Structure 1
Amino acid sequence: YIRHHSDPYYTPEPDCCHELLGHVPLFADPNFAELAQEVGLASLGASDEDIEKLATIFWFTAEFGLCREDGSIRAYGAGLLSSFGELEYALTEVPTRLEFEPSKTVEQKYPITEYQPLYFVADSFRDATAKLREFNATMKRPFQVRYNPYTQSVDVLNSKDKVQHFARSISNEMQLLASALEHV
């Protein structure tokens, strides 16, 4: 689906412009990909209430996020990058801007068929990811998960053996890091 030519500046439904101009370039950035992955991992085993909170966080980051860069406010959310009209609007003084704090972000309601009245601003993708991890740690889940880059799958850390294997993996990575630091 592609937005109608009579209104190229905004569409309430995600179209191929939204996906290709908004999401694809950002998922190529490792720091943003890590932020998005944290939302996904946190959703595994989460309650319905926590899923709604994570969806709201995703809305105000991956879809309509703003970020500081070189003293300026920049858009990174796909909903902004794919909507010339809302992108221009978001960078004016009209909408409200608040610091990205997940515990406050999850309480915010948002419209899906009009420009956002409020945007959250992150200091960086790394800062947003760190704040998201702190928030995720407060969620009650029956197990913990991690992304395994070697198998490109999610490991559920729900047994002593799996936790020990994960600990050995971390130990090996730390040894490699220590060796690399000796050569820097």
Structure 2
Amino acid sequence: MSAKSLNPSGIGPIVSSAHLAEGALPALSEFEFGLILASHAFHRWMMRCIAAAGVPDLSPLDVLILHTVNHRGRAKRLADICLVLSIEETHLVSYGVKKLQGAGLVTSGRAGKEKTVEITERGREICRKYREIRDKLLIGPLSTTTLDREQLSEIAAMMRALSGHYDQAARAAASL
């Protein structure tokens, strides 16, 4: 690591893999490490929050599927759930839907030849409880910080844009 990449304290960028930060864009390695930490913390949060809402045995993906199905109160096609969540392995979503059905949180149907998934009243209630817990335990404390809402929206937009770059790079790597 060059002296140029060190900050005034003499410590380089905070990364998990220094050998990757030695390339042309060390800031990307910093972002990736932050993303790793944030994604694991977010997964832990979702599992703890849904358990507190009354459904202890769901995976982070199950929670994401549940909220996606509840979104706007309309039935969703399985393909649309995969698209929105950027999931290629449809069997993972199918398994999650079956698990949510077993818990009485969603129900499945058909629209022509396509499978659809719809939230049940119990599923809607669990999502409402999740939101209440989220408001109290996550949003409440965050609103007392100097967190800038506009900046948070900009970070979210940047992350969505970066996901497109990662997807394109993944397609290129798959063709090697």
- Structure with greater strand share of residues: 1
Please identify the structure whose Cα radius of gyration is greater.
2
Which protein has the bigger helix share? Answer: 2
- By the TM > 0.5 criterion, same fold? no
TM-score normalised to structure 2 length:
0.26
Provide TM-score, normalisation by structure 1: 0.26
Higher relative contact order (CA 8 A, sep 6+): 1
